[in-house]
Amino acid sequence: CRIENCDSCFSRDFCAKCKTGFYSHRGRCFRGCPPGFAALEELMECVEGCEVGQWSEWGTCSRNNKTCGFKWGLETRTRQIVKKPAKDTIPCPT
């Protein structure tokens, strides 16, 4: 096996099982998952994480469903989920 931190190889270039403390990602072993991927602890694998879009503009200040002054109300903004995570155990941010 030519892959560092690999415990068991499928082929010379593809790791089947990483050493303890390393995450498997596309046949390689890493200390942490690359950007856009989340660590699935129970399997020590990197899976596609949740992808969210850009934040919307801030909404108008409101309180009890009425427009109000900036000191007494609440402004909100939202963002949409672009891609749901591969596993339900990796939640999207609020």
Is residue 84 a contact partner of residue 34, using CB atoms and an 8 Å limit?
no
Q: Are strands 23-25 and 28-30 parallel, antiparallel or unpaired?
A: antiparallel
pLDDT at 31 over 90: yes
Q: What is the pLDDT of residues 40-88, one digit of tens each?
A: 888 898 888 777 888 899 888 888 878 776 667 888 888 888 877 766 6
Beta strands in the chain (DSSP E): 6-11, 14-18, 23-25, 28-30, 37-40, 45-48, 51-52, 62-63, 66-67, 81-83
What pTM value is reported for the model? 0.57
What local confidence, expressed as pLDDT, does residue 82 receive?
81
Enter the DSSP assignment of 93: P
- Structural domains of the chain in order of their starting residue, each with its CATH number: 1-49 (2.10.220.10), 51-86 (no CATH)
What local confidence, expressed as pLDDT, does residue 89 receive?
57
Mean pLDDT across 11-36: 91
